[in-house]
Amino acid sequence: MNNSNTMARISLVWLLYVLCTLQCSWAFYLPGLAPVNYCKAEDVSETCKKDVKLYVNRLNTEKYVIPYEYYHFDFCPSEESQSPVENLGQVVFGERIRPSPYKIEFLKNETCVRACTKIYKGGNKELEKKLEFLKKGMGLNYQHHWIVDNMPVTWCYQLEDERQYCSTGFPMGCFSREPRSQQDTCSIIGAYNKPKTYYLFNHVDLTITYHSGAEEEWGSAFKENGGRIISVKVVPRSIKHGNVPNCESKQPLEIPYDPLPAGQQLAVTYTYSITFNENRTIKWSSRWDYILESMPHTNIQWFSILNSLIIVLFLSGMVAMIMLRTLHKDIARYNQIESGEDAQEEFGWKLVHGDVFRPPRKGMLLSVLFGSGVQVFWMTLVTLAFACLGFLSPANRGALMTCAMVLYVCLGIIAGYASARIYKSFGGEKWKSNILLTSMLSPGIVFSLFFIMNLIFWANGSSAAVPFSTLIALLALWFGVSLPLTFVGAYFGFRKRSLEHPVRTNQIPRQIPEQSFYTQPIPGVIMGGVLPFGCIFIQLFFILNSLWSSQVYYMFGFLFLVFVILVITCSETTILLCYFHLCAEDYHWWWRSFLTSGFTAFYLLVYCIHFFMTKLDIEDATSTFLYFGYTCIMVYLFFLLTGSIGFFACFWFVRKIYSVVKVD
- Give which of 493, 354, 498 is closest to 425, Cα–Cα: 498
On the question of pLDDT at 18 being above 60, the answer is no
- Identify the pLDDT of residue 329: 67
Q: Can you tell me whether residue 338 is helix, strand or coil? A: helix
Which amino acid type is present at position 288? W
* 480-516 burial: b if 16+ Cβ within 10 Å, else e: bbbbbbbbbbbbebbeeeeeeebbeeeeeeeeeeeee
> Span 540-562, mean pLDDT?
82
Render pLDDT for 59-69 as a digit per residue (tens, 0 to 9).
999 888 899 99
For residue 498, what is the DSSP state? P
Render pLDDT for 231-256 as a digit per residue (tens, 0 to 9).
999 999 999 988 888 888 888 888 88
On the question of pLDDT at 324 being above 60, the answer is yes
User: What pLDDT band is residue 380 in, cutting at 50, 70 and 90?
Assistant: very high
- Identify the pLDDT of residue 627: 93
On the question of pLDDT at 181 being above 70, the answer is no
Which amino acid type is present at position 95? E
On the question of pLDDT at 369 being above 60, the answer is yes
User: What pLDDT band is residue 27 in, cutting at 50, 70 and 90?
Assistant: very low
What is the edge-to-edge ordering of all strands in the sheet holding 203-211? Answer: 38-39, 226-237, 203-211, 265-278, 110-121
For residue 60, what is the DSSP state? B
- Give which of 438, 384, 449 is closest to 411, Cα–Cα: 438
On the question of pLDDT at 221 being above 70, the answer is no
> Span 533-548, mean pLDDT?
84
Please give the full DSSP string across 235-289, using - where no structure is assigned: EEE-----SS--TT-----EEESSPPPTT-EEEEEEEEEEEEEE-SSS-GGGTTH
CB 174 within 8 A of CB 184: yes
> Span 299-315, mean pLDDT?
70
- Identify the pLDDT of residue 48: 83
- Identify the pLDDT of residue 2: 40
Render pLDDT for 199-215 as a digit per residue (tens, 0 to 9).
999 999 999 999 886 55
CB 203 within 8 A of CB 253: no
On the question of pLDDT at 625 being above 70, the answer is yes
CB 52 within 8 A of CB 208: yes
On the question of pLDDT at 96 being above 80, the answer is yes
- Identify the pLDDT of residue 611: 92
Handedness of CA 556, 559, 561, 563 (dihedral sign): negative
- Identify the pLDDT of residue 114: 92
Render pLDDT for 258-280 as a digit per residue (tens, 0 to 9).
888 888 889 999 999 999 998 88
Handedness of CA 625, 631, 635, 636 (dihedral sign): positive
131 CB-near residues (< 8 Å, 6+ apart) = 120, 255, 260, 266
Please report, rounded to a whole number, the percentage of residues in the chain having pLDDT higher than 90. 38
Question: φ and ψ at 246, to 5 degrees?
Answer: -130, 100
> Span 120-129, mean pLDDT?
89
Render pLDDT for 424-480 as a digit per residue (tens, 0 to 9).
988 888 888 999 999 999 999 999 999 999 999 999 989 889 999 999 999 999 999
Q: Is 371 exposed, middle or buried (0-12, 13-18, 19+ CB in 10 A)?
A: buried
On the question of pLDDT at 189 being above 80, the answer is no
Distance in Å from the first CA to the final CA of the chain = 46
How far CA 197 is from CA of 202, 210, 237, 254, in Å, comes to 15, 38, 15, 6
**Against a cut of 0.95, is the pTM above it?**
no
3-state secondary structure 64-94: CCCCECHHHHCCCCCCHHHCCCCCHHHHHHC
Which residues are 118's β-sheet partners? Answer: 268
